Structures are given as structure tokens and as C-alpha cells.
A and B are shown apart, each in its own frame.
Chain A
Amino acid sequence: MADIVLDHITKRFPDGRVAVDDLSLAIADGEFVILVGPSGCGKSTTLNMIAGLEDITAGELRIAGKVVNHLAPKDRDIAMVFQSYALYPHLTVRRNMAFPLTLAKRPKEEINRRVEEAARLLGLTEHLDRRPAQLSGGQRQRVAMGRAIVRSPRAFLMDEPLSNLDAKLRAQMRTEVSRLQRRLRTTTVYVTHDQTEAMTLGDRVAVLRSGRIEQVGTPAELYSRPVSVFVAGFIGSPAMNFLPATLEHGELRTPFGPIAPDDRLRRLLHRWDGAAVGRRSLVVGIRPEHFEDATLPTVRDRPGPRFTITVDVLEPLGSDTYAYFTLKDDRAPAAGLAELAPGEAGLSGPAGQVVARLDPTSRLREGERAEIWLDTSHLHLFDPSTGRSLDAGPG
């Protein structure tokens, strides 16, 4: 058990590419921290540096208070689960799991006891004498986990461990990983590009973007108070809707019509330094669940703007109904939204495309006009020139 501190860590590859840029993160003893971000943002590189598989160009890495920058992987007492599982194909499951203990020259009885214990925990007992090639994907994944837990390391590192499984198995293993970590309480750093895993697994989530940490916080914090368009668009599914708005006479002009800011929004707008220099355009962020079918009795009497749209596509999922519609807007589109979150699908969909998550009892029909209600108490406001939330303070 140990805490892990990344202190201004930078990684520059020999070809000059900076994969991790001045990254600082303190992971407490026993904590489950998720590194999440789009592909190529430096997650694996960060994990490899913690494991000792990549050199650290600059900065300090401390495990349990000790600087380990120049310690070989074998001396760090950390276990890692790879995306490819990296099981030794020439060894049986038993010997795969025993491998770290054999290398550590533990006594035979202890090895057997620990391997069988781990196998029981992971439901692998009857597969102990088979080889990786004879196992299903889920079982291989379990063996990889087993190999990590047998030696009770100071920390677990997991690099997209579930991304090779099909959706159903992934959901199942996700709960299993969660249960395992709760039970063992070993410091864990878990890398994923899947926002669902990030939201459901970790105590804390660090969102990475081009080698830098964009935001660290609990899943709930990231969801309700994202510091930037990037985080807001990355966390949550379906993604947050972003729409252009202008500030005129203390009122927000949006494609839905004018919105009178409530106290919270007024405070944000007041603090916004953009207003001071005379800029007036903003980006409004709205989560799909903050729309509702205006005809439903639950929202009939609630305050807030109502507007009429034409439903393009309706996706009834049983528990929710997703309604997609387009907003006509003659003004300039929110400039540079795509640049604020480069490479992120879902952020830069067709211009003005909006998705709303409605109650399943809603009677909307595809192609018909409908009245939609908007809950303005959850509006997010972003500065289009920096991509940062007005709520986030100077980045």
C-alpha cells in the first residue's frame, strides 16, 4: 500500500514529441484514480512512467514518499494489467499467476496458497491448468487481474483492461473490478478512454488532454461542474449540447430565444472578464436531461423557457427517449467549438444538432412539431475564446 505522487512530470520522446506535459497528480493510499481522455493524450505513457517502463524526462515520481524516477520496474513493487492482457502463452494459468511470486523466490506452499486464493476470488479455480489460448476473452482478462493481485503489490496500474471485451462482458467486469478494488483497497490507477468506466469506477477522475490534466475531481464534480468545453463534452453520454449565445442587455440570446439569467448565472456573468473587455458571445452548454417534453404534467407548472421544435429522430430506449432536433440559427455559429475539443466525436456533430433526453411517457413523434421545456438552473456557460467555463475561474 502506498500513495503515488506525480510532481510536474514531463515525457519527451526521442523524436521530440511531448506526450506528457508538466503533469501533477497526488494519488492517496488506497485511492482508485481514473485517467481518462481521448486516444493519444498520453494516458499509457503516464502509466508506463509510473511502472518504470518509460523514463521520466523531467519531474519527480514518488511512491510512498520515496523518489523512484530511476528505480527499475521490478523494484517498484507495482502490478500492471495490460490492454492486451500480456499473458505468457507458454505457461498455464497457474504458472502465469505464480510468475511474479516465482521470480520473488517465495516458498512453494505460499505460492500455491496465494494462487489458489486469487483463483477462487476470480472464479478461475477450474481453469488453473489450462493455457491462455484455451480461455475466453473474459477469462483471460481475469487471469491478468489474478497475476496482478497474487503478490499484493503496493499499487495496481491498469491500461484499458476492459477495452477488448464485448459490451455485456465489459459491464460485468467493470463491477467486478470495482468490487475487487473496494475489497483489497490497493492504490489503483486505471486508464480508459471510456467515459462510462471513468464515471462508474473511480474515487477521482483526471481528464487528460494532449498530455496535460484538464480537470481532476470526483465523477459527480466533473459532471456537474466541468471546467471546460472539453471536459463537458467528454464526460456524459449522450454528450452535452453546445449552442452559441450572445449577451445583450443583461439577457442571454440563445437559439431557443432569450433567457433571463437567474442569480447563479448573473453572478457568473458579472465575474466574467470577457464582459469587461466588451465581448458578448458565449457558448451555452446544456445536458440532454435538462430538456423535457413541455406537455408533461411534471414540468407544466415549472418556470423556464419553452420553445417549439421539429423532432428529426426519436430513439425510445424504454427507460428514456432521446429526441434529436435541429435549431435554426442565422447568427454566426459558435466559432472554434471543434478546435476547443479537437478530435472528439460528439462535440462537433452537425451544426445546431441537439439531443434531448425525455421521459419515456412523452408522446412526441418523429417529424412532428413539439414543445420543449428547458431547465435553466443547470445551464453551463463557456467563454468561446478559451473554452473554459465561466464557473471555473482563470485556468
Chain B
Amino acid sequence: MAAATATRTAGRAASAQPRRRRRSAAPARVLLGWSAANLVIVGVALVPLLWLVSLSFKTPASITDGSFIPNEWTLENYRGIFRQSLFTRALLNSLGIALISTALAVALGSMAAYAIARLEFPGKRLLVGMALLIAMFPQISLISPLFNLWRILRIFDTWVGLIIPYLTFSLPLAIYTLSAFFREIPWDLEKAAQVDGATPAQAFLRVIAPLAAPGMVTTAILVFIFCWNDFLFAISLTSTERSRTVPAAIAFFTGASQFAQPIGSIAAAAVVITVPVLVFVLLFQRRIVAGLTSGAVKG
């Protein structure tokens, strides 16, 4: 989660820049104060991440030299991890499991959130309460029961075995985020679509879903990061390369020799799995922030 937090903070700092420019009329001292505060926050968030990047480019010999900028640059750590099926296979598992979980969570979450935002039905409050309860539930207490249950059900060490608990914990998050977005969409739009000749399904797909798209992207990113970063379930419910994800696989890294620490490889692997998240957030940041609904009704 550290990587994700760092990237989100960085994103926030970047988006603060135009705001600062707009305030050019404000006294210079205020401007300076804000810049300093921003710098401190960005620094605190970025230093550990940069340290990790630096480690990943160091040779085994210089790994403990303590300098921030590597004295000897090498790509050997990266080449090393991509040579091992331990890592490449885990990368594949991570991607597959996280993407499937995200797709399912957003699809199921949209339906549930839509119902919660738009319909009055008996047990609605109970449902929302239960979702919140599940999100609060300590994950660690589920590990042993799931371990036993999954073995009986023969889904231990499979993709499904991980996707299910990921859905359990990401769906409440998805439902909460999405229902907030659905509530923002004027109900009249849906009525208009129905009068214009749309079936309820067409009204949802052609009008509501496109307008909720920023919400869905936001939700997808949050869920993806949750699944992508998970270590607890991944280490407990897998036993082979068949379904082990990267965070779990990193724990199995070994050094070049019996005595060498695999720090360089671990750092390189950490950097590699941070990149997709970074790209995701930077790519969609604008879409997440920009509300698409402006102009739907009289402003």
C-alpha cells in the first residue's frame, strides 16, 4: 500500500500546481508557505520510494554503502528477476487475479450501488450496514478458516481461491464509492431515457453508465490497488507458482549465493509492480477529477 499512497500523494501535489498559479494575486508569503508545505509532503512520501528505486539499480557489492545515488549503476537485478519463472509467473498471476477481481467488483458493485442509490427496497439499510461491517472485518481472522475451507473445496492455490476473498473485501468499497457517484446523477435523465424509448437496461447502459464512468474508473483503480498489493491472502492461500502473486513471490526470492541477501532483486521487483499502479493513476487522474455531469440539468 505504501507505493500506492506515495503515487496518490504525488498526484495530489501535481494537481495543486494550477491552483497555486490561479492564486498569483495572493501575497508571496502565503505562496511560499504553501510551496514549502507541499514540498515537505511530497518529500516524505517520495523518499522511501526513491530509496527503493535506488537500491534496485545498485550492484550487490554496493547495496549497503548507504549512498542515495548508486555509485555503480546496474540493470542486473531487473534481468535477474525476469529470468526466474518465480517472478514472471507471479506477475502473470497478479495481473490476472487483480484484473478479474476488479472487473467483477466493478460490475457487481455497479448493480448493487445503482439499486441502493435509486430504489427503496426492504432491507436496504441492513445491506449497506452489512457491507460496511465486512469492510471493517479483520482479514487475519479469516485466514485459518479459509485455508481449511479452500482445501476441502479444492480451490486452495487457485486463482478462484484468491479472487473470492478479494471480492469479499473490495465489493463493500466498490459499492460505497459507486453509490456516491450514482446519487449525483439526476434521476430525470433516466426518466427521460425511458420516455425516449429505452428499456431499463438501455437506459442504464447508454445514459447512466457513461455518466458514472468516472466513478467506475475510480472504483476500479481502488479495487485493483487493493488486490495488487495484497500479501496476507496471497501468502496464506497459495503454495505453488500456479497462483502465487508477486507480493507473496517476493518472499521466496533468494540471493545469488547462499550468503548474499536478495535485497537488489526485491527492490527491483517492488519497482516493477509499482509501475502499473503509477501508470493507472496518472492516466486516469483527470477523468477521476472531472465531473462529467455538468450541464445535465440547469447549472
Contacts and interface: CB of A to CB of B under 8 A. Distances in A.
Interface of A: 14, 48, 51-53, 72-74, 78-80, 82-90, 99-100, 103-104, 131-135, 137, 140, 147, 151, 157, 164
Contacts of B207: 88
Given A74-B198, A104-B197, A86 B298 contact: no
Contacts of A135: 295
A73 to B, nearest CB: 4
B211 A53 contact: no
A132 B196 contact: no
Given A74-B199, A82-B188, A87 B194 contact: no
Given A89-B294, A132-B295, A84 B188 contact: yes
A84 B292 contact: no
A147 B297 CA distance: 15
Contact of A82 (B191, B206, B211): B191
B195 A164 contact: no
B211 A86 contact: no
Given A86-B189, A90-B211, A100 B197 contact: yes
Contact of A87 (B191, B197, B210, B295): B295
Contacts of A131: 295
A86 B133 CA distance: 37
Given A53-B191, A82-B188, A103-B202, A87 B296 contact: yes
Contacts, number: 87
Q: Which residue, B188, B194, B295, has most C-beta atoms of chain A within 10 A?
A: B295
B48 interface: no
Given A86-B186, A90-B211, A99-B206, 10 more contacts: A51-B195, A52-B195, A72-B199, A73-B195, A84-B296, A85-B298, A86-B192, A88-B192, A89-B294, A157-B195
B295 A133 contact: yes
B194 A53 contact: yes
Contact of A74 (B194, B211, B294): B194
B293 A80 contact: no
Contacts of A86: 186, 188-189, 191-192, 296-297
A88 B195 contact: no
A82 B295 contact: no
B186 A84 contact: yes
Task: Count chain A CB atoms within 10 A of each CB in B197, B198, B207, B292 and give the residue with the most.
Answer: B197
Given A90-B210, A90-B292, A137-B298, A79 B195 contact: yes
A51 B206 CA distance: 20
B292 A164 contact: no
Nearest to A51: B195
A140 B297 CA distance: 9
Interface residues of B, number: 26
Contacts of B197: 74, 100, 103-104, 151
Contacts of B293: 89
Contacts of B202: 103
Interface string B279-299: 000000000000011111111
Contact of A89 (B193, B196, B295): B295
B194 A85 contact: no
A48 B192 CA distance: 11
A89 B211 contact: yes
A89 B292 contact: yes
A48 B211 CA distance: 24
A14 B120 CA distance: 10
20 contacts: A14-B120, A48-B191, A52-B195, A74-B194, A79-B195, A79-B196, A80-B195, A84-B186, A84-B188, A85-B297, A86-B189, A88-B207, A89-B211, A89-B292, A90-B292, A100-B196, A103-B197, A103-B198, A132-B295, A134-B295
Which of B202, B206, B297, B299 neighbours the largest number of chain A CB atoms within 10 Å of its CB?
A: B297
Nearest to B191: A53
Q: Which 7 A-B pairs have the closest CB atoms?
A: A133-B295, A86-B188, A86-B192, A84-B297, A89-B296, A100-B196, A132-B295
A272 to B, nearest CB: 47
A150 to B, nearest CB: 10
Nearest to A104: B197
Contacts of A140: 295, 298
B183 to A, nearest CB: 16
Contacts of A83: 188
Given A74-B199, A103-B198, A88 B296 contact: yes
B39 to A, nearest CB: 36
A78 B194 CA distance: 10
B52 to A, nearest CB: 40
A52 B196 CA distance: 12
Interface string B99-133: 00000000000000000000010000000000000
A80 B192 contact: yes
A78 B189 CA distance: 16
Nearest to A80: B195
